[in-house]
Amino acid sequence: MPANTGAPQGEIDAAIAVSNNQALSRFEAQLAGKIAFLDYRQSGGEIMLTHAETPAELEGRGIASKIARTALEFARAHGLTVVPLCPFVAWYIRQHPEFADLVKRG
């Protein structure tokens, strides 16, 4: 069950800023002094989304979902094919079929 922060979900989502930390090859969000992230490897026309991690204190707030969505939107904007090696990202894509066309087939 998501943590009750007293703010509507849309406000929580809007308050989470996700950035692409290219030096560390990860999308990340910082909240309450903690960092949640999604590692990636980009090569040619592909982006491999390899590992997501959210500190326990931040779980249940939709942070990982916002990071995954940001990474997928980045892939779409840059014409990249997605290789979802991270189980969370694979699950997220199954829940949000609007991103299924990005996934590498075969």
Instruction: Give the confidence band of 4 by pLDDT, cuts at 50, 70, 90.
Output: very low
pTM: 0.86
Burial-class residue 90 by CB neighbours within 10 Å (0-12, 13-18, 19+): middle
Res 5 pLDDT > 80: no
Residue-level pLDDT at 32: 85
Residue-wise pLDDT tens digits, 11-21: 456 678 999 99
Q: Which CATH class is domain 9-102?
A: alpha beta
Token output for 84: 């979802």
Residue-wise pLDDT tens digits, 37-89: 999 999 999 999 999 999 999 999 999 999 999 999 999 999 999 999 999 99
97 vs 5, 37, 61, 90, 91, CA distance in Å?
A: 29, 22, 21, 11, 10
